[in-house]
A = this chain, B = another copy of it.
Amino acid sequence: MAVHLGSVPIKLGVLSESDHMSVASINLFVALLCACIVIGHLLEENRWMNESITALLIGLGTGVIILLTTKGKSSHLRVFSEELFFIYLLPPIIFNAGFQVKKKRFFRNFMTIMLFGAVGTLISFIIISLGAIGIIKKMDIGVLEIGDYLAVGAIFSATDSVCTLQVLSQDETPLLYSLVFGEGVVNDATSIVLFNAIQNFDLGNIDAVTVLKFVANFFSLFFTSTFLGAFAGLFSAYIIKKLYFGRHSTDREVAIMILMAYLSYMLAELLDLSGILTVFFCGIVMSHYTWHNVTESSRVTTTHAFATSSFIAEIFLFLYVGMDALDIEKWKVASNSPGKSVAVSSILLGMVLIGRAAFVFPLSFLSNLSKKSPNEKITFKQQVVIWWAGLMRGAVSIALAYNKFARPGHTQLRGNAIMITSTITVVLFNTVGSQHVIRASKF
């Protein structure tokens, strides 16, 4: 029966150019996942650590070991795969976030969230791009066109919802959570429009029409994505209620919920919408309607099954990013000019800080004006936290950076290599750094 599996590792070895991992590396990954969970559990009380940081560190450690054992030869274990990330890891995380989010709180702050997610992202994009063009361009780190710098702007203004979920607790700080996470979700739609704008529109002359087009684009994208997600959720609720699956088996109910949610995400991707927005709202609707139409055991199962899969996906993700951070080739190329790449990293870091500060504080001020009751206003301390929490740049930024700068062989070009290594540096710094700052500051 499984007889020919002896040959699978070889077969997989053949496929390993793609993101397909060999049996051996799957074993390693699963074992590491278990380790992360156990360690994360043991360090539960330690407020400086959590699963994601543990995973990140273990990933780095494993990367080092692999490097040493393979004598610096690049191993497919460390190649970051966008497919794996966007098709398998991201959907459960975002869906679960939507499924567990406090809906009332979320919708009360909807306008502020939109403000941060749309206008804010735009502001930080502009600042970072201008900064990149203004400073990095002068450092001749290699051939990079204006488009590349704009891409940098978009990459570093794409906040990482996943990391946000890791640092802010919905129960301890509901307002901050809904603001920062909500921003992250809307931010996704914005950055899609941004990228398309960069690619399609004529950047030479940006006039009123382009801007209007841009705004129209954003809103159509936002609403179609949201609608698709809400529709998928309602549809699942309808058929489960109408057909009364529970009569025969709760497994069918759970299966339908999972499949419909995933379908909504993949459909959104197929239609070039924001899958994140879609699956997020699908989660909200499902927890609000579908969840109440299923049997009791299905409720328990879905609640925990979704949380667990999101939990595993997150750990996997950080483990993956940690390992990937050591893709030796790029570092080799970049390290020919160590000074420069350090400089670039720190400049980008600074730009991210400034770019984010430049919209968090003004926009918070604006939204405070609209709020009557003082306890709904965003205090300065909270604004600082929002500023920091949103600094997170995680797997998403890395995926984008790869997509832009790591086309086959391109990492040989110094410019691209430096860009990617800097991205990784910024990601590692931010993720570990700001998590600690936020945990330290008992807001």
Contacts and interface: CB of A to CB of B under 8 A. Distances in A.
Contact of A255 (B6, B31, B37, B404): B37
Contact of A83 (B15, B86, B260): B15
Given A15-B83, A187-B1, A23 B270 contact: yes
A28 B7 CA distance: 30
Contact of A297 (B196, B260, B300, B312): B300
A254 B305 contact: yes
Copies per complex of this chain: 2
A436 interface: no
Interface in A254-276: 254-256, 258-260, 262-263, 266-267, 269-270, 272, 274-276
A154 interface: yes
A256 B37 contact: yes
Interface string A95-130: 000000000000000000000000000000000000
A371 interface: no
Interface in A368-404: 396, 399-400, 403-404
A439 interface: no
Given A8-B87, A298-B304, A304-B251, A34 B260 contact: yes
Contact of A251 (B18, B154, B308): B308
Given A27-B270, A400-B1, A256 B301 contact: no
Interface stretch (A38-46, A328-336, A416-424): A38-46
A213 interface: no
A312 B259 contact: yes
Contacts of A254: 304-305, 308
Interface stretch (A137-145, A242-250, A339-347, A358-366): A242-250
Contacts of A30: 259, 262-263, 266
Chain A interface extent, by class: 35 or more
A26 interface: yes
A38 B252 CA distance: 8
A189 to B, nearest CB: 9
B267 A27 contact: yes
A400 B5 contact: no
Given A30-B262, A305-B305, A5 B275 contact: yes
Given A20-B19, A301-B308, A308-B255, A196 B2 contact: no
Nearest to A31: B263
Interface of A: 1-9, 11-12, 15, 18-20, 23-24, 26-27, 30-31, 33-34, 37-38, 40-42, 44, 82-83, 86-87, 90, 154, 158, 161, 187-188, 191-192, 194-196, 239, 243, 245, 248, 250-252, 254-256, 258-260, 262-263, 266-267, 269-270, 272, 274-276, 297-298, 300-301, 304-305, 307-308, 311-312, 396, 399-400, 403-404
